[in-house]
Amino acid sequence: MESESLRMTALVEDMLLLARLDAGRPLDSAPVDLTGLAIDAIADAHAAGPDHTWRLDLPGTDEGDEGDEDDEAEEVVVLGDDHRLRQVLANLLSNARVHTPAGTTVTVRPRRDGNRVVLEVGDDGPGIPPALRDRLFQRFTRGDASRNRAAGSTGLGLAIAHAVVSAHGGTLEVDSRPGATTFTVTLPAAPDA
């Protein structure tokens, strides 16, 4: 009963959030550092999924890149809702954990790209079933393997991520084939202080 009521609570919260986003309720608009969010999200994901490999790929940390003058850490900061943006990352990372086998490597890559910030979540798991791809961001879309209650899957995670990113004036895109699935969040960068 307890786990069932937790599941129902999470479902109701997800549906309320979608209803609020549908209604165009304003989100917070404070500076949010996506690198910090990524670090926190990876720590949580690592605790929840110790059998996956979790990687954070930061700009300027490539081999042979040291000492580069242009390397000065560019801020990966947006104006937005910290809590909701955390949820986007949590949903993408939980998918990369739940819908892939143990041993899968998941890489989170935040970077600045001109006046935009880009956050990629990639995994080398089996990929998104082709039948799902066209309606992946629609509510209640989920793969066959997720259609059981044991998996606790409702098919709202990506719909929420998409709605939150859109409400921030950004885009959420996916590219997936077996062995390489990448979700890309693109958001307007906060104007430089």
Ligand X SMILES: Nc1ncnc2c1ncn2[C@@H]1O[C@H](COP(=O)(O)OP(=O)(O)OP(=O)(O)O)[C@@H](O)[C@H]1O
Which residues make up the interface to ligand X (CB under 6 A)? Answer: 91, 95-96, 99-100, 123, 125, 127-128, 132, 136, 141-143, 146, 153-159, 181
Establish how many alpha carbons lie within 13 A of residue 161's alpha carbon, considering only the half-sphere containing its beta carbon: 26
Nearest CB to ligand X, comparing residues 68 and 147: 147
Q: How far is the CB of 99 from ligand X (least distance, A)?
A: 4
Q: How far apart are CA 72 and CA 58, in angstroms?
A: 12
Query: Measured between alpha carbons, how far is 132 from 36 in angstroms, rounded to an integer?
Result: 32
Give the residue from 193, 127, 156 showing the smallest Cα distance to 19. Answer: 156
- Closest to Mg ion by CB, 87 or 95: 95
Among 35, 87, 95, 141, binds Mg ion (CB under 5 A): 95
Q: Could you tell which of Mg ion, ligand X, none binds residue 52, using a CB distance below 5 to 8 A set by kind?
A: none
Of ligand X, Mg ion, none, which one does residue 59 interact with (CB within 5 to 8 Å by kind)?
none
* 142/189 with CB nearer Mg ion: 142
Helix, coil or strand: residue 81 = coil
For the CB of residue 179, give the shortest distance to Mg ion in the complex, in Å: 20
Q: Does the protein bind Mg ion through residue 157 (CB under 5 A)? A: yes
Is the separation of the CB atoms in 37 and 89 below 8 Å? yes
18 exposure class (CB count in 10 Å sphere: 0-12, 13-18, 19+): middle
Residues near Mg ion (CB under 5 A) are 95, 157
